[in-house]
C-alpha cells in the first residue's frame, strides 16, 4: 500500500483557482457537495436589487431547492446576510418549493457557526467547508458539512400541539370520508402491532400505545385526501417502491419524513405497499 501526504492549498490565493472554478466544478457534478442527487437550475441567477445567486439546485426527487453561495477565504457576517437575502427572495418568488440556504466557504469560524445557529430551526441553513488539496501536481476538492439544518419534528410534550380534540373536530376540518381513511390505515398498522389506537389532537391525528404517544406516523385529514407523515430515513428501496406504486408522495429532509397523500382508491390498490412502508417505519421507531 502506497502512502502519500496531501498538501492543503488556499483556493483564494491560488493563481489558477478561484470562485468561478469552484462554481463550475460544483455545477458540473453537484453530488460532490454531499446533498444528494441535485439538478442544476441556474448559475449566477439575477436577484432583483440584490446581485446574483451563485448556484441554484433542485433535488431530483422532491420539490426542495438549495440556494448556494460560495465564499473563498474566511466567512463573514456580510456573507451570511447575502445568503439569507437570496434564500428569502427565492422562497417568496417560488413558494411552491421547499427552500434551503447553503453556504460553502474555505474557513468557517466558530463565531460564524454561532451566528448561523441563532437562525437554524427558523431558517433552514447548511454550512459546508471546502478544502483544496494538491498531490503530484494534481488538485482535488473535499466538501465537509460542518452545520446541518435542525431536524424538526413533533414534540409530544408541547401542550398546544398535543391538545386533544375529538373525531368530530377532524371530520369538520377534513371530511367524514378522509377521517375514515385514517381508520383504514390504522387497520393496516394493527396487522403489524394490534396495540395501537388513534388519538385526535388539535394539529394532527396521532397514535397511542398503552396510553402513550407513539407517533411514527401522523395524519392530517383534508377535504379530499388524507396526508400521512411517516417518520423514516430515506432510502432508495422505499423511493423505488413508492414510485412504482403510483402513490403521490414526497420526502422532507428537515424532519426525516415521507409525506404520502392518500385518497379513497389508494388503500385497496396499494395496501401492501403502504403496509411495507409502515413496517419499516415501525421497526425503525422501535430500534
> Is the domain of 127 the same as that of 172?
no
Phi-psi label, residue 49: left if phi above 0, alpha if psi -120 to 50, beta otherwise: left
CATH number at residue 31: 3.40.1350.10
DSSP SS3 for 232 = coil
Give me the pLDDT at residue 119, please: 66
173 and 133 housed in the same domain: no
Average pLDDT score, the chain: 85
Pick from 266, 252, 275: nearest CA to 62: 252
**What is the residue whose three cell numbers read 457576517?**
77
Instruction: Please give the span between the terminal C-alpha atoms of the chain, in angstroms, as a whole number.
Output: 39
Structural domain includes residue 39: yes
> SS3 for 202?
coil
Query: CA dihedral in degrees (187, 193, 194, 195; nearest 10)?
Result: -120
Position 101 in a domain:
yes
Specify whether 277 is located in the same domain as 191: yes
Predicted pLDDT of residue 158: 44
Domain assignment of residue 157, yes or no: no
Residues 219, 101 share a domain: no
Same domain, 134 and 240: no
User: What is the per-residue pLDDT for 271?
Assistant: 94
Res 168: pLDDT: 93
**The whole model's pTM is what?**
0.55
SS3 113: helix
The pLDDT of 12-21, averaged and rounded, is 82
Which segment of 100-104, 111-115, 122-126, 218-222 scores lowest on mean pLDDT?
A: 111-115
Beta bridge partners of 132: 9, 141
Supply the pLDDT for residue 287: 66
Domain containing 97: what range? 7-147
Residues contacting 251, CB < 8 A, separation 6+: 61, 62, 234, 239, 257, 258, 259
Task: Give the tens place of pLDDT for each residue, 56-78.
Answer: 999 876 778 999 999 888 787 78
Residue 155 lies in a domain: no
pLDDT in tens, 137-196: 788 889 998 887 655 554 444 444 456 789 999 999 899 999 999 999 999 999 999 999
CB 151 within 8 A of CB 126: no
DSSP state of 163: -
> Does residue 139 share a domain with residue 25?
yes
Residue pair 207/196 in contact by the 8 Å Cβ criterion: yes
217 and 260 share one domain: yes
Number of domains making up the chain: 2
Q: Given CA atoms 166, 168, 170, 172 in this order, what sign does their dihedral have?
A: negative
Per-residue pLDDT at 121: 60
Query: Average pLDDT, stretch 105-129?
Result: 78
Query: What CATH number does the domain containing 192 carry?
Result: 3.90.1150.200
User: Are residues 48 and 112 located together in one domain of the fold?
Assistant: yes
Q: Is the pLDDT of residue 277 over 90?
A: yes
Same domain, 177 and 252: yes
Shared domain check, 219 and 278: yes
Of 206, 217, 205, the C-alpha closest to 282 is 217
Which of 147, 178, 208 is the last residue in one of the domains? 147
Asked if residue 161 lies in contact with residue 70, where contact means CB atoms within 8 angstroms, the answer is no
Residue 202 lies in a domain: yes
Are both 140 and 181 inside the same structural domain?
Answer: no
Digit-coded pLDDT (tens) for 195-233: 999 999 888 899 999 888 888 999 999 999 999 999 998
pLDDT at position 157: 43
Which residue blocks in 7-104 are alpha helix, DSSP H? Answer: 19-28, 77-93
Asked if residue 272 belongs to a domain, the reply is: yes
Asked if residue 171 and residue 136 are part of one domain, the reply reads no
pLDDT at 18 over 70: yes
Amino acid at each position: 500500500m502506497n502512502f502519500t501526504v496531501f498538501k492543503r492549498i488556499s483556493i483564494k490565493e491560488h493563481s489558477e483557482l478561484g470562485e468561478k472554478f469552484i462554481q463550475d466544478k460544483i455545477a458540473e457534478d453537484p453530488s460532490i457537495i454531499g446533498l444528494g442527487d441535485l439538478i442544476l437550475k441556474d448559475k449566477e441567477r439575477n436577484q432583483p436589487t440584490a446581485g446574483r445567486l451563485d448556484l441554484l439546485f433542485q433535488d431530483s426527487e422532491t420539490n426542495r431547492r438549495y440556494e448556494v453561495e460560495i465564499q473563498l477565504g474566511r466567512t463573514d457576517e456580510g456573507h451570511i446576510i447575502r445568503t439569507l437575502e437570496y434564500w428569502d427572495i427565492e422562497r417568496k418568488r417560488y413558494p411552491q418549493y421547499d427552500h434551503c440556504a447553503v453556504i460553502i466557504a474555505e474557513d468557517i469560524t466558530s463565531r460564524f457557526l454561532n451566528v448561523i445557529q441563532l437562525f437554524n430551526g427558523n431558517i433552514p441553513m447548511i454550512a459546508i467547508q471546502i478544502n483544496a488539496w494538491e498531490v503530484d501536481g494534481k488538485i482535488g476538492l473535499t466538501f465537509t458539512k460542518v452545520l446541518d439544518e435542525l431536524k424538526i419534528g413533533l414534540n409530544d410534550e408541547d401542550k398546544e400541539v398535543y391538545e386533544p380534540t375529538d373525531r368530530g373536530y377532524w371530520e369538520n376540518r377534513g371530511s367524514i370520508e378522509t377521517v375514515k381513511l385514517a381508520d383504514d390505515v390504522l387497520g393496516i398498522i394493527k396487522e403489524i402491532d394490534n396495540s395501537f389506537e388513534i388519538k385526535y389532537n388539535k394539529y394532527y391525528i396521532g397514535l397511542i400505545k398503552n396510553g402513550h404517544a407513539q407517533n411514527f406516523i401522523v395524519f392530517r385529514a383534508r377535504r379530499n385526501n388524507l396526508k400521512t407523515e411517516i417518520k423514516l430515513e430515506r432510502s432508495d428501496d422505499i423511493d423505488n417502491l413508492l414510485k412504482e406504486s403510483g402513490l403521490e408522495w414526497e420526502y422532507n429532509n428537515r424532519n426525516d419524513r415521507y409525506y404520502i397523500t392518500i385518497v379513497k382508491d389508494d388503500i385497496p390498490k396499494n395496501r401492501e405497499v403502504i403496509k411495507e412502508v409502515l413496517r419499516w417505519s415501525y421497526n425503525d421507531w422501535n430500534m
